Structure 1
Amino acid sequence: MVDSVPQSTAPVSTVVGRPTRWSRWRPARADVLAIAVYLALGVLVCLNHWVDVPNRVSAHLPTDHSWFEWLFSHGAYSVWHLENPLFTTRQNAPDGVNMMANTSLLGVTLPLAPLTMLVGPQVTYVLYLGAALAATAGTSYWVLSRYLVRSRGAAFVGGAFLGFAPGIVHHANGQPNFASNFLLPLIVARVLRLGEPGRWRRNGVVLGLLVAYQIFINEEMLLLTALACLVVVGTYAVLRPRAAGGQAGTFAAALGTGGALALLLTAYPIWFQFNGPQSYRGLQGGTFHSWGEDLKAFVTFPRDSLAGDEAVERTIGVTEQNTWFGWPLVLLAVVALLLLVGRSLVARILAVLTVVFTVASLGPVIRFDGAETDTDGPWAYVPEELPLVEMMMPTRLSLIVAAAVGVLLAVAWDTLSGSGRPPVPAQRAAHPPRLQRRWQRLVGYAAITLALLPLIPRPLPVEPVEPPPHFVTAGGWRPYVPEGRTLVPVPIPSNVHGLSTLRWSALTTHAFPIPGGYFIGPDEQGAGIFGAANRPTTRLIYTTMDRNATPNVTDVERRQAVEDLRYWRASVVVLGAHPREAVLRDLMTSLLGAPQRVDDVWLWDVRSLVG
């Protein structure tokens, strides 16, 4: 196994080991094959998108999919126009959106800006989604094979699970930020090496750079990684107190160096996130605080896997599928821990990690098979208003459990292969006969394979989406929208309505600003709410859509419409093809007068109305 150092002296860094420089960087044939398989899996997961990239979005989270297409356009727009990427008024005009206070993926969208300008945000989105999954598996494989296990097969199995775990694949349905975990294995490995003597400066600097960059990819996953590292290091200190004490000074110096560098690099963006324009404090109503994991979810097969079933999702799928491991893998993990925990330091740490975050993920009320029980969960005793805690979703803590399972699979496979390091204590019982060892190995390999086969991902579900009007994509709007004015699409984009009109902005690389949008911003009291606070005309449009009937419009509503358009700095209102096109056209005609038919849209030139 991985713990080959005497129990009294093993440093934290030996948990991950330290390969030679040549062995660390020299790619083997197995490495190339592993990366190729991961890339193929990334293509497989995105296969339904590739069939018709321009006209398909995620069937699970079409709004999030459209938001991330918009984000890729935001990166391209910011680079092309040399604008501050931390804030934009191209959405929610004129108030704008604090991009640091939202999931902005700036660490990806800015470097990929040239690609987005070349092929558009839709192609960039799908390319990146598959690549992010494969890259996460790849860096996991690299860390496992260079620092933890000796068997390339063990590293391959662990890397595949860490990159394509059920929860990660489920998030890939419209949320590529949660598939972008390729820096996390490198961060964990670096944290566990901070105690290396004589290398505290280098380790600290590398950690600081990795953490700073991860902040611009996904802060929430960085927080989860920090919590996991805290438990790992704390558990190690309890299990190896003498060794931990001996390197505490070096560890602290390296950690301080890394923290100081990360803070130096990200101080302004973090300040902007919490104090810049359109920042907010918490989420109104503690939206996510109650999202705990369902106990039955642990033994349920995920929807987007070979053994998955959409019917199950309708009962216990209210929460995210972060721990839908299926019963074979749960059984295998329990057996593997029981067999390894007595002989492997890593297994003992993984056992603690699994128990702690399984319990922590259950939320304020224990759920079973989609129903709440009368039993309080651990979060029932956590105040909702605590900073950071109020924004956390308990079920996502179980992503740490998934990571622990991935490492456990690698350690178990490594043990079976005979490549593992000798257990502690080093004294061994007599070896079983060679034939017996061979059968044990085959049974173990078969158990791991059979537990993982049902979890092989299927292509993510997609649905068709209407393309933007030719009037928009061909630039027909340009004579109507001068600099400093907005194009008001109908329906106005929000977190519920206007998916198609948000894409007008995304697919034209933010050529014109729009009101409303899909984001989190402050209400009048500064608490976070989804989307812009609805103005009276916005509410009237949404009510008309929901009822599919045109209301009797009053003079007060007509005057209010002009006020709202003036607030938005509108120059033109545009209605394209839409399932509610007839009632929306009648409503806007009642408010603004008869429209013009320009190309393939209905258009109201309101410059004379708003001045």
Structure 2
Amino acid sequence: MTAVAAPPAPVAPADEVRRRRWPVHLVAAVAFTGLGLLVMGNFVGHPVDRVSDHLANDNTWFQWLLGHGAYSVRHLENPLFSVRQNYPVGVNIMANTSVLGVTIPLAPVTMLFGVRIAYLVWMVLALAGTAFSAYYVLQRWVVRSPVAAVLGGAFAGFAPGVVHHGNGQPNFVSNFALPFIVVAVMRLGVTGRWLRDGIVLGLLVTYQVFVNEEILVVTAGACGVAVLGYALLSPRAARERARHFAAALAVTAVVAGTLCAYPLWFQFNGPGTFTALPHYHAWGEDPVAYVTFSRDTLAGDASVERTIGRTEQNSWFGWPLVLVVLAAVGALIRRSMLVRVATFTAAVLAIFSMGPKLRWAGQLTDLPGVWHWIPDDLPVFGLLTPSRITFGVVGFVALMIAVAYDAAERVRGILSGVAMLAVIAALVPLIPTPLPARVDARPPQFITSGAWRDYVPPGHSLIPLPLPDDAGGRDSLSWAAWERSEFPVPEGYFLAPDADGIGQAGVEPSVLTTVVSDATRRGKIAQVTPELRAAVRVDIARFRGSVLVLRALPGYEPLRRMVDELVGPGEQFGDAWVWRVG
């Protein structure tokens, strides 16, 4: 007999493969959206009456930014700068994490439904979108198992450190462009289409500039370390790709540089800019946080907020996941260049994330970290918060979850099931719980009814009491946010330069701010003298204020009487007192 070779198995066309993936894509999208709604569960039923119980000030600041985006679209004004806070001097929005890449697209939602509902939509879509983009990249370029990609994507979008920032900092939750940026960098020079690849990466980088520059810098640093690691570990392959890689990178620089030139110039040279943030420069990641469960997880406990830190810890992986990742690295590092490069990158990032002085279990030690030798005023780096470099380690863990599960699926015997169960079991304690929220009173009727429009002519500001500031004016700033920045307010909650050009929270408080703050926070009512009355009048004139507004609350009665003495009798408008001063 003559042996006849069996015909090769037919290969499914690319279109058919994509069609087969659509059900998985749909399931992943629904699951991630459901997780996003779970995280924001305390807001979902009452979105206009809730605020973060963890970072209420930041929550309101980003609602104000949503209003700023809508205002810029409605009035066709420069979105890089605003005088709707700190009137009439203004705020450099680019220097204050502009998030224009989100607030401008969401402007229709903000204009139709208000900033508080737009904020909820943003948070849910940011969490789910980041998870889905990571899932898509993993299943498209990294792993074959759809379950592995879903698990890795879920961790990227809902990692405890990411969810922790969801307590009021959605810019650190909006990471949906990052997986595409990373894969675009890692694939530069692979296809030979250096022009197309460079343009795509340049557009992605440009968009991320208007979402979160700090995380973009962290991502760029991580990619740079990964490229260096690849060149060291596989020099021959790196040399073969070098020419097309360099050409594509040059195109990226031209595209992103051209599109971002003016916004970045404005950020660093425009009004209201600053050179460094030394206070934030000192925050480093606590190594104990890596093996600790975050409060906002199934296994978490509120006590860790007091012992390790509040916002600026970004790992919170829990000890089971740390053990699983270490085991996966040990099992795969010899046979996977991807794992070797990723592990090298994560190790470097983890070291840099510890800041200028090492922390241990919440206590600052005298041991210097790598950041100790980086000057506070070094361009770009002086504006970074070291602990946020941990976001690069979060990406590494998401990758290892997917790679480990994918490898376990291909192992025969009982070891396969054990390995897959270990990965899943390590993730179960990290399932997020609803973020804490508290009731947030709506603005006074004087604001919500639009009555303020008869009191604030063009070129003047509304002065809410207490004045919006870093310490006690969150509620007042929420009034301006509610009205989508239609009326300007003095002072505010933002980053601004001090007398030496160093970044600080807000501006130097005015006399009016000081006496109102003393009354509301310390119960100290100032003795009204002619000198004090004159100083307050100077502040009001400087703010170009036309009306003062105070909630009509029993606890504010002493403050109301003091304001009467300062500027004359006010009038009650429903649940607010108003004083015409313009």
State the TM bucket, normalised to the shorter chain: over 0.9
Instruction: Check conservation: 1:485, 1:570, Cα contact below 8 A.
Output: yes
Distance 1:578 1:279, change over 3 A: farther
Q: Secondary structure at the match of 1:355?
A: helix
Does residue 192 of structure 2 align to residue 192 of structure 1? no
**8 Å contact from structure 1 (residues 46, 126) kept in 2:** yes
Other-structure match for 2:213: 219
Deviation at 1:532, TM superposition (A): 2.2
Q: Which residue of 2 aligns with 1:348?
A: 340
Alpha-carbon distance between aligned partners in 2 of 1:303 and 1:25, rounded to the nearest angstrom: 40
The CA deviation at 1:112 is 1.2
Q: Give how far 1:583 is off.
A: 2.7
State the match for 2:291 in structure 1: 299
In 2, the alpha carbon distance for the partners of 1:146 and 1:210 equals 18
Q: Residue 483 of structure 2 is aligned with which of 505, 508, 526?
A: 508
TM-score in terms of structure 1 length: 0.91
State the 1:381 CA deviation.
2.2
- 2:100 aligned residue: 106
**2:437 corresponds to 1:462:** yes
1:254 is matched with 248
Local SS of the residue matching 2:377: coil
Match for residue 207 of structure 1?
201
Contact 2:189 2:241 (C-alpha < 8 Å) held by counterparts:
yes
Residue matched to 1:540: 515
Report the 3-state secondary structure (helix = DSSP H, G, I; strand = E; otherwise coil) of the residue aligned with 2:227. Answer: helix
Deviating more after overlay: 152-161 vs 352-361: 352-361
Q: Please say if 1:273 is aligned against 2:267.
A: yes
Tell me the residue number matched to 1:328.
320
Q: How far apart are the structure 1 equivalents of 2:19 and 2:375?
A: 47
1:398 aligns with 2:390: yes
What's the CA shift for 1:25?
8.0
Which of residues 539, 543, 551 is equivalent to 1:564?
539
Post-superposition CA distance 1:292-320 (Å, at most 9, x none): 11121111001100000001221112562
Structure 1 residues 575, 92: CA separation in 2 closer, same or farther (over 3 Å shift)? same
| 1:265, distance to aligned residue in structure 2 (A) | 0.8
**Contact kept? 2:552, 2:577, Cα under 8 Å:** no
Pick closer, same or farther for the CA change 1:110–1:254 going to 2, 3 Å.
Answer: same
Deviation at 1:590, TM superposition (A): 2.2
- In structure 2, how many angstroms separate the alpha carbons of the residues matched to 1:379 and 1:519? 25
Contact 1:545 1:583 in 2 (8 A): no
Q: Secondary structure at the match of 1:385?
A: coil
* Gaps in structure 1 of 5+ consecutive residues: 1-18, 420-436
Distance 1:482 1:351 in 2: 60
- Structure-2 residue corresponding to 1:310: 302
Q: Does 1:173 align with 2:148?
A: no
Distance 1:372 1:579, change over 3 A: farther
Structure 1 residues 495-524: Cα deviation after superposition (integer angstroms, max 9, x where no partner): 111111101111111221110111111223
Deviation at 1:336, TM superposition (A): 0.9
- Residue type of the alignment partner of 1:603: V
CA contact (8 A) 2:275 2:377 kept: no
Distance 1:265 1:206 in 2: 13
Which whole-Å CA distance do the structure 2 matches of 1:174 and 1:374 have between them?
31
Q: CA RMSD in A?
A: 1.6
The size of the alignment, in residue pairs, is 570
Matched, 1:602 2:573: no
Tell whether the 8 Å contact from 2:165 to 2:311 is kept in structure 1 after alignment. no
1:52 maps to 46
Q: CA deviation at 1:361?
A: 1.2
Asked if 1 retains the 8 angstrom alpha-carbon contact of 2:467 and 2:492, the reply is yes
For the residue of structure 1 that corresponds to 2:96, the secondary structure is coil
State how far apart, in whole Å, the 2-side matches of 1:278 and 1:290 are.
Answer: 23
Find the partner of 2:34 among 31, 40, 55: 40
Give SS of 1:28's match. Answer: helix
Give the TM-score taking structure 2 as reference length: 0.95
Q: In 1, distance between residues paired with 2:484 and 2:366? A: 50
The one of 477, 481, 485 equivalent to 2:456 is 481
In structure 2, the partner of 1:359 is 351
- Offset of residue 494 of structure 1: 0.6
Contact 1:290 1:393 in 2 (8 A): yes
> Which AA in structure 1 matches 2:497?
P
Counterpart CA distance in 2 for 1:312 and 1:353 is: 28
SS of 1:386's equivalent in the other structure is: coil
* Percent of paired sites with the same residue: 48
SS in 1 for 2:462: strand
Q: CA deviation at 1:350?
A: 1.8
The residue number in structure 2 matching 1:527 is 502
Does structure 2 conserve the Cα–Cα contact (< 8 Å) formed by 1:304 and 1:457?
yes
> Would you say the 8 A contact 1:139–1:182 is kept in 2?
yes
Are positions 1:146 and 2:140 aligned together? yes
* 1:267 aligned counterpart, secondary structure: helix
Q: CA deviation at 1:382?
A: 2.1
Superposition deviation, residue 197 in structure 1: 4.3
1:89 and 2:86 aligned: no
Letter in 2 for 1:327: W
> What is the distance in 2 between the residues matched to 1:297 and 1:34?
29
Q: Counterpart amino acid of 1:219? A: E
Alignment match, 2:10 = none
What CA distance in whole angstroms lies between the structure 1 residues aligned with 2:125 and 2:339?
Answer: 30
Q: 1:455 to 1:537 in 2, by over 3 A?
A: same
Establish whether residue 289 from structure 1 lines up as the match of residue 304 from structure 2: no
Amino acid at match of 2:304: V
Distance, in Å, in 2 between the alignment partners of 1:268 and 1:381 is: 31
Contact 1:364–1:378 (CA<8 Å) still a contact in 2? yes
- Secondary structure of 1:339's aligned partner: helix
| 1:402 Cα deviation after fit | 1.0
- Shift of the 206–480 alpha-carbon distance from structure 1 to 2, 3 Å rule, reads same
Unaligned runs of 5+ in 2: 1-12
Separation in 2 of the partners of 1:380 and 1:221? 21
* Stretch of structure 1 that moved more, 202-211 or 590-599: 590-599
Q: Which residue of structure 1 aligns with residue 474 of structure 2?
A: 499
TM-aligned CA distance change 1:319 to 1:488, over 3 Å = closer
Asked if 1:231 corresponds to 2:214, the answer is no
Deviation readout 1:412-434 (Å, 9 max, x if unpaired): 11101119xxxxxxxxxxxxxxx
| Matched AA of 1:504 | W
Flag the 1:318–1:176 CA change in 2: closer, same or farther, 3 A: closer
Displacement, 1:372?
2.1
Contact 2:36–2:125 (CA under 8 A) maintained in structure 1: yes
Pair 525,381 (structure 1): closer, same or farther in 2 beyond 3 Å = closer
Tell me whether 1:586 sits opposite 2:561 in the alignment: yes
Q: Does 1:183 align with 2:158?
A: no
Cα distance in 1 between the residues matched to 2:553 and 2:223: 49
- Once the two structures are TM-superposed, the CA of residue 24 in structure 1 deviates from its matched residue by 6.0
Return closer, same or farther for 1:176/1:184 CA change in 2, 3 Å cut-off.
same
Equivalent residue in structure 2 for 1:418, among 392, 401, 410: 410
Q: 2:492 & 2:433 partners in 1: Cα distance?
A: 31
Aligned counterparts of 1:409 and 1:507: Cα–Cα separation in 2: 42
2:55 aligned partner, one-letter code: L
> Counterpart of 2:528?
553
Corresponding residue number in structure 2 for 1:79: 73
Q: Provide the C-alpha distance between the structure 1 equivalents of 2:19 and 2:72, rounded to a whole number of angstroms.
A: 35
Structure 1 Cα separation of the partners of residues 269 and 369 of structure 2: 33
Structure 2 residue matching 1:375: 3-state secondary structure: strand
2:362 aligned residue (370, 381, 390):
370
> In structure 2, what is the equivalent of residue 31 of structure 1?
25
